[in-house]
Amino acid sequence: MKLALVTTLLLAAAPAVADDALIATLDSNDLAVSRVKATGLDKVFVEKASKAVSFGWADARTLWVLYESPISLVKLVDGKVAEKITVLPATFKLPANTDPDPKLLLTTKAEVWLQACSKYKGETGDDSQRCVKGSWVRVDTKVQTQQAKKPAGIDDYRVSNSGLGTAPAFPKIKAPAGYTVTLKQVVADGVGDDQKKTKAKGAVCKGPTSSKTWPDNTVDIPFAMKPSRVTWLRASPSIVKIDGKATNPIGDIEQHEAVFVDCKDLVDEARWLGAGAWALRTESKWTIYLEDKKIATITAEYLRAAPSK
């Protein structure tokens, strides 16, 4: 899948800070940068019919966008174009007639690199994204520099289309009163008639007035995760994540999750956006919240929030 959400005092203070938070989104048509506000999302940059390949945040204000044919980047600061850069294929110092097929990388120190990989750690799973031999070009300096060693401090998650890295964690909370999640073997109806009444390792979420079981009829049970952990994310609405390992149809082991909302509904992902803002995702539909208030619903293939610092 191409695709990658607090004490009372913190909650009370967050909206003013969240007004300065930025998120970037890319769907099949448009690239957008939006400012998170209590009244909704204020778009500060939109590129219609965007040809962007990927984007990534260097810091809380600076977004880098990668394009191909020719290889180029745009630097946005607070949603405004600050710089445009072209990178010649020869800069990568690859064998003749080799397409760099560059990948955007960002470090925890806000360095910006392009990677042209010639060998990956493996052919399947996460190893198919881990480059062990290649060429790396730093592009955010006055003179572009190439090296044959992978840069230190790469933060994979900062880049929109990376399947690696770890999303920012929600502030820790305890289970809200009246809610429980139990990991247990369940009998569930998965996808299709041949998966009706199937035994599976699952989870049961119970609230004061509702109950919901995972997996449900949207899940292909033979390849579903085996949940091993429960993490409470929000008290109002009640948001709790289950996650565990799954084996896909070609044998790769992947980490999957599912999210209960008020023990009534299931969504694919909960994502912390920072400063009291967070989101729920079902396929490519994102519902954005500021504290317990829903402020926007958008469609995006990729969404990344700017780091807090």
Check residues 131 and 219 and name the one with the higher pLDDT: 219
| In contact, 25 and 19? CB cutoff 8 Å | no
pLDDT of amino acid 5: 32
Question: Between 132 and 203, where is the model more confident?
Answer: 203
Residue 213, pLDDT above cutoff 60: yes
User: Which of 74-78, 127-131, 133-137, 139-143 is the least confident region?
Assistant: 127-131
Q: Is the pLDDT of residue 75 over 70?
A: yes
Q: What is the mean pLDDT of residues 123-136?
A: 75
Q: Which residues pair with 26 in a beta bridge?
A: 31, 302
Q: How many CB atoms are located within 10 Å of the residue 160 CB? A: 27
Read off the pLDDT band of 2 (50, 70, 90).
very low
Query: Average pLDDT, stretch 66-85?
Result: 97
Position 272: which residue type?
Answer: W
Banded model confidence at residue 119, pLDDT cuts 50, 70, 90: confident
| Cα-based distances in Å from 5 to 35, 111, 189, 192, 199 | 16, 25, 29, 31, 31
Q: Is the peptide bond before 237 cis (omega within 30 degrees of 0)?
A: yes
Those residues whose C-beta lies under 8 Å from the C-beta of residue 32, and which sit 6 or more positions away, are: 24, 25, 26, 43, 45, 46, 47
Which residues contact residue 194 at a Cβ distance below 8 angstroms, ignoring those fewer than 6 apart?
none
The arithmetic mean of pLDDT across residues 219-248, rounded, is 96
The chain-wide mean pLDDT, for the chain, equals: 90
Q: Is the bond into 171 cis (omega within 30 degrees of 0)? A: no
pLDDT tens, residue by residue, 176-201: 999 999 999 999 999 989 999 999 99
3-state SS class at 291: coil
The residues pairing with 38 across neighbouring beta strands, listed in sequence order, are none
| Domain locations along the chain | 8-158, 180-302
Amino acid (one-letter) located at 218: T
